Amino acid sequence: MPAPENARDIAGLSGVSAQPLARVPIRTRSASVTVSAWRLEVTSDQGPGTIVLVEPASGEAHYRGEGIFLGWEQERLAEVYTALRARGEEAGLDSPQLG
């Protein structure tokens, strides 16, 4: 299947494209309540993956990689997440305002 028109190369991956950000409920080991996070679903020539951004009340962001991003370091996940989010903003995609 050919890559989408907006696909590009990022962090050693080729043909990378992303779905719009989705707000999802999550639980963390350090919290006794459910919190929200941003989920970024990605497709690439190397396969699918997801990056979840958790922003706890402490303000320190934490990224979790799934699929092709499993085992990636925080800095590398942040690089891909930021690059794909910036790409969505360039295309005129707005993040939903919640709350």
* pLDDT attached to residue 87: 63
Neighbours of 42 (CB within 10 A): 23
Contacts of 59 (CB under 8 A, 6+ apart): none
* Residue-level pLDDT, tens digit, the chain, 99 residues: 444 445 678 888 999 999 999 999 988 777 778 888 999 999 999 999 999 998 877 778 899 999 999 999 999 999 999 999 876 555 444 444 444
Q: Give the dihedral of Cα atoms 6, 81, 64, 9; nearest 10 deg.
A: 50
Q: Give the pair of three-digit tokens for residue 48.
A: 């699918």
Q: Report pTM.
A: 0.76
- Closest C-alpha among 38, 19, 37 to residue 28: 37
